[in-house]
Structure 1
């Protein structure tokens, strides 16, 4: 399989950074994936032509790395005679210190929270802690499950794999109408609607298409049967798609806060230190999550269903946080 130019450059960086002394062109050609290696079966003319092609490619790669700021050092030493080598000094290749603004750290926090629970979750959280370590803001009390009911989960990652493999999955599912039950599903597609992930697939036990909200999947998802066991339909019935429930809400927002919400609404009144903003929404649960994510800088006033949902989720999150 052909190696892309980007992958070849990355392989070259890794090889030169891990070289204890230096690497010659012959060593680079023989060990770095992406370059055309010498073949003893070639005749002399072919061997010379291929070597010239490699040297032109390596020179272009070397120049490109230097333009990108990667310090590729030419190593000349009398002990090696005319044989020139190359290496990258790790001390010179370090990135400058990162300095994030408060807004940039907030974006990183949202990204790390969304990836919470999946393979990259721990790495994302550790990177966020390092990036925000210079922040002078006091740490906020963590409210698990309060700010976002739509973070990417292990269930999402495994169902995506099952969709690609066309393999059935089994999971425990909590439904408001039927309680908790085991579902065996042939997954067709994952859709994002109102900030929530939905799985659309064929429920094997019920022998009918169904829609499942992935945040209601309990425990682990397991793969069943053989890959390639089914073929998803070309068109999905519109009745299976998550329905939007549009409406208009009134929110109380602190000054200089929640700019994304403000930009979608209109300030219609004030209440002391609060601005009263009227905003249209398509999914109530998405607006509830946005209110909760502001950590007290936004209050839900109307409709009552939204205000009740915000309070219920906040209370439940505090109970979880306090054990």
Structure 2
């Protein structure tokens, strides 16, 4: 922070702390000349703070009463950071503060300068939060992708697939989904002619470029459902279906949305679709549910669960 910036903030603090100040009083407190005070006051006005000046006996500088709130002093990176944090909190990643986060987002929109309001608006509308994430995301990447979603323009980037294969993609970005540990982009892949989900941590940040070409208007799938299905199926070697002998409401809190899809069967039972890299992990995962179940598929999971049951039985004599 420069000396001038620090002094302007100090001046703002003085004006907020007392109803009126004379020029000489402010100059003395700030250690500058009255001419510098006048320049700093003008800087505050340019930022949108309603600083009034009056002459004569009892005159001086004061912040104007009423009107809209003054702009918030945030640079673009800070605005993105604050917005993302509030969106995650509003989505339930921090228990008990969802409503407060939504109110804070509304206030943030009121106090940000016009140059940053569009940045915040783009992220607020482009990001769908399912569950809190702990995987970091590059602020520049998130901002660029969110603006492209808002402006409906094509996005180019280099992408590293799960198997390590590198490719260049041109997509029509639709929504960003924060689910589980990851950030995902739902977009129409122009080369493949279909919807795809992309993990943002596999996007090469320097390669991301928002074009000026407009996206085609098309019906999009539900972003959360699509990403959840992609997470359940494409990354895993095994996908299992289990019939749980318990009402949906009794088990829904035990299955994170990125870990499985629950379907109410209407007879006091529900079906769980989930995936994993190994059958052993799937078998162990069934124990966390805490309810009776039966394996519908794959058949080899039944044998793995049977072997696990034998080992557990032997462990207790």
TM-score norm. by structure 1 comes to: 0.36
Q: With CA pairs under 8 Å and 6+ residues apart, which has the higher RCO, 1 or 2? A: 1
Structure with the higher helix share, 1 or 2: 2
